[in-house]
């Protein structure tokens, strides 16, 4: 190799080592794209949202809410975040803004919160004032509190009608409770923005289920989004060994866990002989073997026009970004992106610029951006 070529290689290595943003190119069947590192140095980032001024807020599972401004991670975390239980899968989890954030400044956080009997998912909100949350209040506590440190669910999304949907795990050791909508284990709850109960919830009278519960029979939902074309709510959830699912949420519906499942126990034991049962919903899509889905977004931007309406899902165990192509409610095609990068993808969001943003779940986690090339 000539001396000039050696020098060029050394410069390229130095650029990569010093963490400059562009980290490579990729392509799908529909678009070519550049993978850009926005920031790194995050401690197991979990949720991401975009402020109207162009800043980003990102949660770190150990309990910190961080701001990214002009492509730089601000050193000091946002003050006022509730105390969290950060053991194993617990900690500070999702973050979303109120639909009228520009007027009211409300930021919503989900997290693992301690209480009598153990720990479970909680939701709090606070007004963002500079680099602090003020007027912080807990608007929901999942019950019962249980021992253990797995399966919190915790994804948040606001529906078109302004109600807040919260996914809740069955806490792993309590999986049979997911078939009982009178508690919150293995459910999706629907709340008004202040934590009160919408008058049209399916169990609002409390006779057949808890008034907050919208759907039940879930295992551990870590992705939820509103489909732009019709306003329907879609979520995915972890199966055990196999049987990850994508579901369309319907009021009062039972999604089957653990009475029906396409997966088996991690030990190889049979959880249920059934994959179907009367009165229980079937998934739009199930993955066996599992990809361990986390984060989900319908693409509705302009930067990648041929992805319009496609569903993008992060994969933890699968270490890739999954593109799911739909016709109505039917999956007609799937594609794996970024599989060569071997990153655990925790969250997927469409930015206001139309680019796709990803969080990587590592002790030195990143925000990555997919831009057209």
φ, ψ of residue 127 to 5 degrees: the values are -90, 130
Per-residue DSSP letter, 70: T
Give the residue numbers marked as catalytic: 151
Q: Which residues pair with 320 in a beta bridge?
A: 315
| Cβ-Cβ contacts under 8 Å for 157 (sequence gap 6 or more) | 96, 164, 165, 224, 225, 226, 233
Per-residue DSSP letter, 281: P
CA separation for the pair 158, 233 (Å, rounded): 10
CA separation for the pair 320, 323 (Å, rounded): 10
Instruction: In the chain, count H helices and then E strands.
Output: 2, 25
Query: Up-side HSE of residue 368: CA atoms within 13 Å toward CB?
Result: 27
φ, ψ of residue 267 to 5 degrees: the values are -75, -10
The 3-state DSSP class for residue 63 equals coil
Please answer whether residues 15 and 8 qualify as being in contact, where contact means their C-beta atoms are separated by less than 8 angstroms: no
Count CB-CB contacts under 10 A for residue 41: 12
CA separation for the pair 211, 214 (Å, rounded): 8
Give the closest residue to 153 by CA, choosing from 183, 179, 189: 189
Total length of the chain: 373
Q: Which two tokens stand for residue 159?
A: 């529906």
CA separation for the pair 299, 319 (Å, rounded): 20
Widest pairwise Cα distance in the chain: 80
Q: Which two tokens stand for residue 224?
A: 């939820």
């Amino acid at each position: 190799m000539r001396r000039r070529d050696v020098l060029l290689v050394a410069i390229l290595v130095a650029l990569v080592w010093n963490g400059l943003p562009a980290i490579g190119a990729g392509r799908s069947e529909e678009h070519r794209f550049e993978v850009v590192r926005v920031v790194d140095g995050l401690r197991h980032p979990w949720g991401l949202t975009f402020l109207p001024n162009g800043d980003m807020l990102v949660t770190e599972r150990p309990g910190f809410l961080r701001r990214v401004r002009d492509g730089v991670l601000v050193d000091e975390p946002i003050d006022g975040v509730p105390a969290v239980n950060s053991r194993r899968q617990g900690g500070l989890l999702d973050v979303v803004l109120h639909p009228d954030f520009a007027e009211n400044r409300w930021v919503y956080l989900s997290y693992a919160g301690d209480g009598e009997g153990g720990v479970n998912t909680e939701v709090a909100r606070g007004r963002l004032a500079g680099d602090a949350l003020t007027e912080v209040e807990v608007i929901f506590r999942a019950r019962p509190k249980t021992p253990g440190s797995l399966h919190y669910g915790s994804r948040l999304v606001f529906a078109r009608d302004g109600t807040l949907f919260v996914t809740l795990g069955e806490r792993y050791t309590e999986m049979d409770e997911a078939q009982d909508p009178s508690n919150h284990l293995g459910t999706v709850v629907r709340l008004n923005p202040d934590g009160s109960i919408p008058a049209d919830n399916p169990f609002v009278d409390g006779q057949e289920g808890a008034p907050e519960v919208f759907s039940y029979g879930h295992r551990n939902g870590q992705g939820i989004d509103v489909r732009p074309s019709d306003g329907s709510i879609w979520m995915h959830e972890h199966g055990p060994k196999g049987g990850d699912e994508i579901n369309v949420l319907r009021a009062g519906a039972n999604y089957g866990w653990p009475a029906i499942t396409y997966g088996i126990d991690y030990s190889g034991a049979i959880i249920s002989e059934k994959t179907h049962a009367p009165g229980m919903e079937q998934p739009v899509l199930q993955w066996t073997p599992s990809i361990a889905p986390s984060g989900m977004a319908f693409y509705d931007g302009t930067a990648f026009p041929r992805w319009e309406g496609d569903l993008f899902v992060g994969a933890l165990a699968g270490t890739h970004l999954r593109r799911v192509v739909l016709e109505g409610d039917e999956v007609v095609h799937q594609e794996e992106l970024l599989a060569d990068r071997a990153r655990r993808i925790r969250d997927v969001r469409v930015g206001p610029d139309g680019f796709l943003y990803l969080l990587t779940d590592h002790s030195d986690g990143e925000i990555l951006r997919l831009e057209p090339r």
